[in-house]
């Protein structure tokens, strides 16, 4: 399991404290705001307003409650893994018929998908319409032959970071193991070479520096889920924290 990382946890809590300030400044129309020690650009109010009015194909509003649109992915930290594609290994294991270890080249040979997806960070920002490239998690599940006993998926990342999702959420067609955003490889801070993408849950479920996908019978709450964040993390239900 993950080792204790009080430094990261307090950094994240600091971000959460800044969230209220963020929302306030956003409401006041400030275009550049400071968060987590960096400046970043808010989309105009009109962009968030439009996204709030838009509907998804599933009928939900495009922008979940309490979120503001920003233009670019904000680097949210975390203990970085090895960004090298040559050294990369992805282990698919647990409740599977065939345990598989894929290299980066193996991953690139699988059926590649490109999809536009919106992501929503619990600290209050959303990035809309990024073009993500990767392999569907459901394809990897098929490849390994996931057993009927599997009820949850644990994303495993560098230095013991984990995130848990139910098998239903994990096998949705927009969930992928991604290696590109907007046609480019991820910057190291965003999870190079490979990260998970679970667009319809808060972004902490999208593990960066992904090195394992474990199918399990029993749920295993992950790094943030054991530190007060909600176990499920549906942005439309504002499942942010445990209390």
Closest CB to ligand MTE among residues 26, 163: 163
Q: How far is the CB of 91 from ligand MTE (least distance, A)?
A: 15
Q: Which of 76, 144, 177, 233 is the binder for ligand MTE (CB under 6 A)?
A: 76
Binding string, 109-148, against ligand MTE, x = CB under 6 A?
Answer: ------------x---------------------------
Residue number with CB closer to Mo ion (123 or 211): 123
Site for Mo ion in 189-228 (CB under 5 A): 204
Does residue number 22 form part of the binding site for ligand MTE (CB under 6 A)? no
Give how far Cα 6 sits from Cα of 31, 155, 158, 193, 233, Å.
Answer: 32, 21, 16, 26, 22
29 burial class (0-12, 13-18, 19+ CB within 10 angstroms)?
A: exposed
End-to-end CA distance of the chain: 24
The CB-nearest residue to ligand MTE is 78
- Rounded to 5 degrees, φ, ψ at 120 are -130, 115
Q: Total binding residues for Mo ion by CB under 5 A? A: 2
CB atoms within 10 A of CB 233: 26
Please name the residues in contact with 96: beta carbons below 8 A apart, sequence gap of 6 or more.
Answer: 141, 144, 145, 146, 147, 150, 215
Residues that bind Mo ion (CB under 5 A): 76, 204
Which parts of this chain interact with ligand MTE (CB under 6 A)?
Answer: 73-76, 78, 121, 157-158, 161, 190-191, 203-204, 206-209
């Amino acid at each position: 399991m993950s080792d204790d990382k009080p430094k990261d946890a307090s950094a994240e809590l600091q971000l959460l404290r800044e969230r209220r300030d963020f929302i306030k400044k956003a409401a006041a129309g400030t275009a550049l705001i400071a968060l987590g020690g960096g400046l970043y650009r808010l989309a105009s109010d009109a962009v968030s307003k439009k996204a709030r009015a838009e509907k998804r194909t599933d009928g939900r509003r495009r922008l979940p409650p309490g979120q503001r649109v920003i233009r670019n992915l904000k680097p949210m930290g975390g203990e970085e893994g090895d960004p090298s594609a040559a050294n990369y290994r992805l282990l698919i294991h647990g409740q599977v018929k065939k345990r598989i270890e894929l290299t980066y080249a193996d991953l690139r040979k699988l059926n590649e998908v490109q999809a536009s997806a919106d992501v929503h960070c619990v600290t209050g920002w959303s990035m809309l319409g990024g073009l993500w490239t990767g392999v569907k998690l459901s394809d990897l599940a098929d490849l390994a032959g996931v057993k009927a006993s599997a009820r949850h998926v644990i994303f495993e990342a560098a230095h013991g970071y984990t995130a848990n999702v139910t098998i239903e959420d994990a096998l949705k067609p927009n969930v992928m193991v991604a290696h590109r955003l907007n046609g480019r490889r991820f910057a190291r801070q965003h999870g190079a070479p490979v990260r998970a993408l679970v667009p319809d849950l808060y972004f902490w479920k999208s593990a960066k520096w992904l090195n394992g996908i474990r199918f399990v019978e029993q749920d295993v709450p992950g790094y943030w889920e054991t530190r007060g964040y909600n176990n499920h993390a549906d942005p439309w239900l504002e499942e942010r924290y445990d209390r």
